[in-house]
Amino acid sequence: MTRQCSAPGCRNGSGLHQFPSNPELRLQWLRALGITDHDLVSRAAVCNEHFSPECFSNLTEVKMGFSKVLHLRSGAVPTKVAPPPARVTSQSGSLRLIMVQI
Protein backbone atom coordinates (compact mmCIF):
# COMPACT_ATOMS: atom_id res chain seq x y z
CA MET A 1 0.00 0.00 0.00
CA THR A 2 1.41 3.38 -0.96
CA ARG A 3 1.44 6.08 1.63
CA GLN A 4 -0.33 9.31 0.95
CA CYS A 5 -1.29 12.46 2.77
CA SER A 6 -4.12 12.08 5.31
CA ALA A 7 -5.46 15.60 4.83
CA PRO A 8 -8.96 15.60 3.30
CA GLY A 9 -8.82 15.97 -0.47
CA CYS A 10 -5.02 15.73 -0.64
CA ARG A 11 -3.37 12.87 -2.50
CA ASN A 12 0.26 13.81 -2.12
CA GLY A 13 2.56 10.85 -1.71
CA SER A 14 5.80 12.69 -1.04
CA GLY A 15 7.08 15.14 1.56
CA LEU A 16 5.12 13.26 4.17
CA HIS A 17 5.42 13.73 7.92
CA GLN A 18 4.20 10.98 10.17
CA PHE A 19 1.65 11.75 12.88
CA PRO A 20 3.29 12.59 16.21
CA SER A 21 3.26 9.91 18.88
CA ASN A 22 2.54 12.49 21.57
CA PRO A 23 -1.24 12.07 22.14
CA GLU A 24 -1.91 15.77 22.74
CA LEU A 25 -0.04 16.90 19.66
CA ARG A 26 -1.61 14.10 17.66
CA LEU A 27 -5.05 15.37 18.68
CA GLN A 28 -4.11 18.89 17.55
CA TRP A 29 -3.16 17.50 14.15
CA LEU A 30 -6.44 15.61 13.89
CA ARG A 31 -8.45 18.70 14.84
CA ALA A 32 -6.54 20.84 12.36
CA LEU A 33 -7.29 18.35 9.60
CA GLY A 34 -10.91 17.87 10.65
CA ILE A 35 -10.55 14.10 10.91
CA THR A 36 -10.60 11.57 13.75
CA ASP A 37 -8.18 8.86 14.77
CA HIS A 38 -10.67 6.43 13.29
CA ASP A 39 -10.09 7.90 9.81
CA LEU A 40 -6.37 7.25 9.98
CA VAL A 41 -4.66 4.33 8.35
CA SER A 42 -1.62 2.88 10.05
CA ARG A 43 1.48 4.97 9.39
CA ALA A 44 -0.71 7.96 8.55
CA ALA A 45 1.12 11.08 7.49
CA VAL A 46 0.58 14.67 6.39
CA CYS A 47 2.49 16.32 3.54
CA ASN A 48 4.53 19.55 3.49
CA GLU A 49 1.66 21.48 1.88
CA HIS A 50 -0.24 21.81 5.15
CA PHE A 51 2.49 23.40 7.22
CA SER A 52 3.48 27.05 7.22
CA PRO A 53 7.16 27.78 6.47
CA GLU A 54 8.00 28.46 10.12
CA CYS A 55 7.03 24.87 11.01
CA PHE A 56 10.16 23.56 9.29
CA SER A 57 13.49 23.57 11.04
CA ASN A 58 15.60 23.33 7.86
CA LEU A 59 13.63 25.29 5.25
CA THR A 60 16.66 27.44 4.38
CA GLU A 61 18.88 24.38 3.79
CA VAL A 62 16.25 22.84 1.50
CA LYS A 63 15.77 26.10 -0.41
CA MET A 64 19.51 26.39 -0.89
CA GLY A 65 19.74 22.80 -2.07
CA PHE A 66 21.74 21.44 0.87
CA SER A 67 18.93 19.14 1.89
CA LYS A 68 16.03 17.51 0.07
CA VAL A 69 13.79 16.57 2.96
CA LEU A 70 12.02 19.13 5.12
CA HIS A 71 12.06 18.46 8.85
CA LEU A 72 9.28 19.61 11.13
CA ARG A 73 10.03 21.45 14.35
CA SER A 74 8.81 19.62 17.44
CA GLY A 75 5.31 20.77 18.26
CA ALA A 76 4.50 21.88 14.71
CA VAL A 77 0.81 21.58 13.81
CA PRO A 78 -0.62 21.63 10.26
CA THR A 79 -2.46 24.91 9.61
CA LYS A 80 -2.97 25.05 5.88
CA VAL A 81 -5.84 22.69 5.35
CA ALA A 82 -8.09 23.33 2.39
CA PRO A 83 -11.77 23.74 3.30
CA PRO A 84 -14.20 21.33 1.66
CA PRO A 85 -14.76 22.18 -2.02
CA ALA A 86 -17.18 25.11 -2.31
CA ARG A 87 -18.35 27.46 -5.02
CA VAL A 88 -17.76 30.47 -2.75
CA THR A 89 -14.14 30.67 -3.89
CA SER A 90 -14.98 31.70 -7.45
CA GLN A 91 -17.49 34.26 -6.19
CA SER A 92 -15.01 36.00 -3.94
CA GLY A 93 -12.53 35.86 -6.84
CA SER A 94 -14.85 37.79 -9.14
CA LEU A 95 -15.68 40.24 -6.35
CA ARG A 96 -12.01 40.98 -5.96
CA LEU A 97 -11.73 41.47 -9.72
CA ILE A 98 -14.55 44.02 -9.68
CA MET A 99 -12.87 45.94 -6.88
CA VAL A 100 -9.61 46.01 -8.80
CA GLN A 101 -11.39 47.39 -11.88
CA ILE A 102 -12.91 50.25 -9.85
Rank residues 53 and 91 by Cβ distance to Zn ion and give the closer one.
53
Binding site for Zn ion (CB under 5 A): 5, 7, 10, 12, 47, 49
Give least dist CB 8 to Zn ion, A.
9
Virtual torsion, Cα 89, 15, 72, 77, nearest 10 deg = 30
Rank residues 47 and 76 by Cβ distance to Zn ion and give the closer one.
47
Give least dist CB 64 to Zn ion, A.
24
